[in-house]
Structure 1
Amino acid sequence: MAVGTQESSTDEAQKPKSKNIFYGWWIVIAGSTSQAYTSGTFWQGFGAFFDPIVEQFGWSRALTAGAVSLQRTESGAIAPFVGWFIDKYGPRRVMLSGIFATGLGFVLLSRINNLWQFYVAFTLITLGLSFGTFLVVTTTVANWFVTRRTKAIAIMSAGSGLGGILVPALVWLIAVTDWRTGLLVVGIGYWLTGIPAAIVMRSRPEDYGMLPDGAQAETATDLESADEVVDSSENKNSKSTKKPVEVEFTAREAMRTRVFWQLVLAMGGSQLIMSATVHQIPALTSFGVSRTMAGMVILAISIVSLLGRLASGVVGDKWDKRRVIAVAFVFQFIGTLFFAYTSNNWHLVAFVVFWGIGFGASIPIRFSMLADYFGRRHFGTIMGIMMTFSTVFGVVGPIFVGLMFDVRGNYREPYLILAASIVFTIPLILTLTAPNQPNRSRLPVRR
């Protein structure tokens, strides 16, 4: 039995069954639910707790915000280990441990009285989120789909966009109770939503007598390349008589390819500007936009990005993925230009449309491409390593924008510079080609 499928030995008699719906779609739904809650309560919603905590204890905003920067750094540093655990022990066990730690972290955070306690609780939340949310869910979905992989990841990640709906509810909860009660409710909510989602997770369809995408065994000859590289540089209409083989790169083999480092630089350049979203509201207010309007702009971006994710899911499995993500990056570039030169409401509308679609569309495609090039077997580890490098860029982006504002006194210049980083990534994406497969990875797809 393959490495990373220990779960299946204990679940052999508990094979997922569904008469009409491929089990992979239940994994997508569970993952999307988990992502929605995480996005609404942490990625988009944790800012609602920031001011109440700072005001009660009188802590420095820099010191308090340092926990958020620490979270990004730690998350990136441990991502490869998370990926290894997923590949080794299966997603269900990893996600259950992560969800338990995340919920406990929020509960402990609701009881803090000192800054060091804040950092300890936040560290536990960081570990929990790393092991229990995006990385494990994305890896699982990528393992259950091949020909519909982009669509599946798009639907799963759409939960992040929907999570924005929870933010107003979170603000209301804090207003009618207090921030401690809000954190306690959020922590318990992680257990109530995350544990059922984790139970749904399974490693690979082959371990349960199924094929990716729900293909039937009798038609397996049509899909023998369950992990065949979908080289975006190939003509989709070309017909090959060559017997397809399963692609299987280890993390070490992937890192020896040029494609891996092209993706690191391309995704890193994109991450520079995506990570700087923390400055969007302060930047908009510096441009003369009210805080209320700025908040509405961020909410609108969340909704439009949802459309971008779903749209990329529709076209990503049919069109050249390199061109799709290149167009998404062009949209981000145009949106950033409108943002940097904002002077009226029409600029805001253009920013929301171009940035929202570009940002949303790029998310599913990037992870689908990674699985296309390097296969499913070690996807978790490879994705974790990729995320580590992206974290470096993600930490630099907000610091660069803040430093430039302190030195130059405006947000326009740093955002224009970051816009250039998007332009730099486009040729890197368009020149991607499938790596040469290691000889030992050329194994027939199991039936």
Structure 2
Amino acid sequence: MRRGPARSGWWVVVGGSVLLTVQNGLIMAAFGAYLVAVTADTGWAAGVVALGYAVVQLGNGFIAPLTGWACDRVGTRLVAACGSLLGATGFALAALSADETQFLGAVAVIALGCSASGIMPLTVAAVQALPQRRTLALGLLPSGIALGGLAVPLVALALESFGWRATFVGVAVVIAGVGLVAGSVLPTRAPAPVPARPPAAIPDEPPSCPGRAGPAGADIGADTGADTALGTALRSGTFWLLVAGHGTALVAVSAMNLHLVPLLAHHHALPLAVAGAAVAAMSIAQLLGQVVTGLIGDRVDKRRLAAGCMAVQTAVLLVMASVSDARALVAAAVVHGLAWGLRGPIMTAMRTDYFGLSSFGTIMGWSMGFVSLGLVTGPLLVTALEAGPGGYPAAMQALAAVSAVGLVAFLLLRRPALVPERRPRGAASEAARRRDAGATVPDDRNARNVRKGITMCNDAGDPALQRPGTYVFDGATSRRGYRMNKMFMSLRDTASRATFGADEAGYCDRFGLTPDQRRAVLERDWTAMLELGGSIFYVYKLAMMDGHSMQYLGGVFTGTDEESFTAAMRAGGRRDG
């Protein structure tokens, strides 16, 4: 029963990757070659084609909120099909354009198509199809972007052999044909909506003993599958730091996509075919980086990896500003592609980690709306500076400064603060009021503890409880293990278990576990969990996820195995003294 969904999910990644191959190879990465061919044939200023590229990037971003909304309403297959047809229509119109205005109008149609069949809706489809393997899916999906770069030499050859107008007609045919076929594997309908619920707080300290009730909500919002709504995301600093880091990264990416070919062909007088091959080499490095991130993304700190890639990108741009050797420039472009590939998937994965899945399309759409400012700024900034006295070196220095800003944004990035679910005034239970007054409230403490996640206290000073090897869950132990026990309790929820399984380390971090507690959970050191404040009732929930029984834990804690412990219990249990 599990093979079908997994297989269909991976086909979504394959189809999306093919769509991105077509879009990047024939549109985004090829725009530099188009700039050279179109300006040489028509005499138009280079700024016209650069403006057209900016229009594509601007539309790809600013239309993203609408695209995300459409994906959440009608599904990604219909959205992507409309995008493929629009993109093909735009190229056909561009081939017939007689002046700059008509050309830019046709490019605006291409921009609509790119938004509807591009990275944003395809990312939504991949995340929804493979929620538990989303980092790997997000690492493999953009491989189409890198593979598309390999098509640039073919595009350059077609431009030299047939001219740009005939090439545009051929591109229109390929986009329509391949786009409709590849998009047929995407989801046909939007996912069922997930009821939203506000996240509850994790207090720095548990309720003080004896047995004070904590916040009304025992579950932890995004950590237990209750995803963040758009309004909550927009009010968090995390959303805007991600936008800043992502947007500044794309300033350099979009500028390199457009200007690497002109830099090598015009500024360094290399043949167009050689410049196209440099783009292909950069794309291969990007593909390698994306695959590596897909494989290791859930095992590393995504924020630090993103910051490291931004540091490398900054250094690469400074090298490109200071060297003139063509081989050094090509090598720098390859390193840039590697850093781009390593960073790209994790910026999207961090949004799912921080804000959840149910509103991912809408949140991602709004994010891309703001991030698109970087896509537009990069090409125009380099075009303006390259025309000045500083030329391309000054342009590369400016890109390096922008990348440094993104580095700082990723270093400052933190998980969003959890919003407490507050109890209405006067809503405290009668039992809580009686406890506050000092009265004894009889109840089944263990049952209530398991049911509501409320800590309890024992008298650790009782000599009867001071036995070697006995872990007493007293007030101090409760406070020490409160966050870890909260996390274990969240595993009652199916969606929470799926989230935990997809990124155990990240899930531990969301609940604020100490390094020792985090290590104990990840290494399944059951005894250490008890020593660090874990309640056996809570720890057992994690053991059940791994398919272990209580008898298995008993064997671990007594230094035997499950079978021996079970046999001892059936024989009457351990006898002390």
Q: Compute the TM-score of the two structures, normalised by the length of structure 2.
A: 0.63
Structure-2 change in CA distance of 1:353 and 1:132 (3 Å): closer
Contact 1:304/1:353 (<8 A) preserved: yes
Q: Distance in 1 between matches of 2:164 and 2:330?
A: 33
Q: Distance in 1 between matches of 2:73 and 2:105?
A: 28
Q: Distance in 2 between matches of 1:114 and 1:288?
A: 30
Does 1:433 find its partner at 2:414? Answer: yes
Amino acid in the other structure paired with 1:382: I
Contact 2:138/2:349 (<8 A) preserved: yes
1:214: which partner in 2?
A: none
1:387: which partner in 2?
A: 368
Amino acid in the other structure paired with 1:371: T
1:421: which partner in 2?
A: 402
Structure-2 change in CA distance of 1:286 and 1:99 (3 Å): closer
1:95 to partner: Cα distance = 1.2
1:400 to partner: Cα distance = 2.8
Give CA deviations for 1:79-98 in whole Å, capped at 9, x if unaligned. 11111111122111211111
1:169 to partner: Cα distance = 2.3
Contact 2:150/2:279 (<8 A) preserved: no
Contact 2:250/2:375 (<8 A) preserved: yes
Q: Distance in 1 between matches of 2:157 and 2:275?
A: 19
- Which residue, out of 24, 30, 45, partners 2:9? 24
Structure-2 change in CA distance of 1:412 and 1:119 (3 Å): closer
1:135: which partner in 2?
A: 120
Q: Distance in 2 between matches of 1:286 and 1:106?
A: 25
Amino acid in the other structure paired with 1:151: L
Does 1:410 find its partner at 2:395? Answer: no
Does 1:328 find its partner at 2:305? Answer: no
Amino acid in the other structure paired with 2:119: F
Contact 1:147/1:317 (<8 A) preserved: no
1:198: which partner in 2?
A: 183
Among the aligned pairs, what percent are the same residue?
29
- Which residue, out of 229, 233, 236, partners 1:257? 236
Does 1:248 find its partner at 2:233? Answer: no
Does 1:112 find its partner at 2:97? Answer: yes
Amino acid in the other structure paired with 2:149: G
1:38: which partner in 2?
A: 23
1:80: which partner in 2?
A: 65
Q: Distance in 2 between matches of 1:286 and 1:113?
A: 25
1:275: which partner in 2?
A: 254
1:187: which partner in 2?
A: 172
Q: Which moved more, 1:356-365 or 1:420-429?
A: 420-429
1:9: which partner in 2?
A: none
Contact 1:247/1:374 (<8 A) preserved: no
Q: Distance in 1 between matches of 2:131 and 2:157?
A: 42
Q: Structure 2: where are the runs of 5+ without partners?
A: 193-198, 200-217, 422-489, 499-577
Structure-2 change in CA distance of 1:245 and 1:360 (3 Å): same
Contact 1:144/1:204 (<8 A) preserved: no
Question: Superposition pairs for residues 39-54 of structure 1, below 5 Å?
Answer: 39-54=24-39
Structure-2 change in CA distance of 1:431 and 1:316 (3 Å): same
Q: Compute the TM-score of the two structures, normalised by the length of structure 1.
A: 0.80
2:270: which partner in 1?
A: 290
Amino acid in the other structure paired with 2:158: L
Give CA deviations for 1:283-341 in whole Å, capped at 9, x if unaligned. 44677463455443322211111111111111112111112212221221222222122
3-state SS of paired residue (1:316): helix
Q: Which moved more, 1:129-138 or 1:295-304?
A: 295-304
Q: Which moved more, 1:284-293 or 1:328-337?
A: 284-293
Contact 2:68/2:362 (<8 A) preserved: yes
3-state SS of paired residue (1:317): helix
Higher normalized contact order (CA 8 Å, seq sep 6+, divided by chain length): 1
Q: Distance in 2 between matches of 1:313 and 1:332?
A: 20
Q: Distance in 2 between matches of 1:286 and 1:110?
A: 24
Structure-2 change in CA distance of 1:312 and 1:203 (3 Å): farther
Structure-2 change in CA distance of 1:95 and 1:74 (3 Å): same
2:151: which partner in 1?
A: 166
Amino acid in the other structure paired with 1:280: L
Amino acid in the other structure paired with 2:404: V
Contact 1:328/1:358 (<8 A) preserved: yes
Q: Distance in 2 between matches of 1:87 and 1:161?
A: 27
3-state SS of paired residue (2:131): coil
1:438 to partner: Cα distance = 5.6
Q: Which has the larger radius of gyration?
A: 2
Contact 2:32/2:262 (<8 A) preserved: no
The aligned length equals 400
- Which residue, out of 311, 318, 323, partners 1:342? 323
Structure-2 change in CA distance of 1:319 and 1:385 (3 Å): same
Does 1:67 find its partner at 2:46? Answer: no
Q: Distance in 1 between matches of 2:387 and 2:89?
A: 37
Q: Structure 1: where are the runs of 5+ without partners?
A: 1-15, 208-227, 229-240
Structure-2 change in CA distance of 1:76 and 1:318 (3 Å): same
Contact 2:32/2:259 (<8 A) preserved: no
- Which residue, out of 100, 103, 108, partners 1:123? 108
3-state SS of paired residue (1:103): helix
Amino acid in the other structure paired with 2:18: T
Amino acid in the other structure paired with 1:305: Q
1:68 to partner: Cα distance = 2.2
1:173 to partner: Cα distance = 3.2
Q: Distance in 1 between matches of 2:493 and 2:24?
A: 39
Structure-2 change in CA distance of 1:49 and 1:335 (3 Å): closer
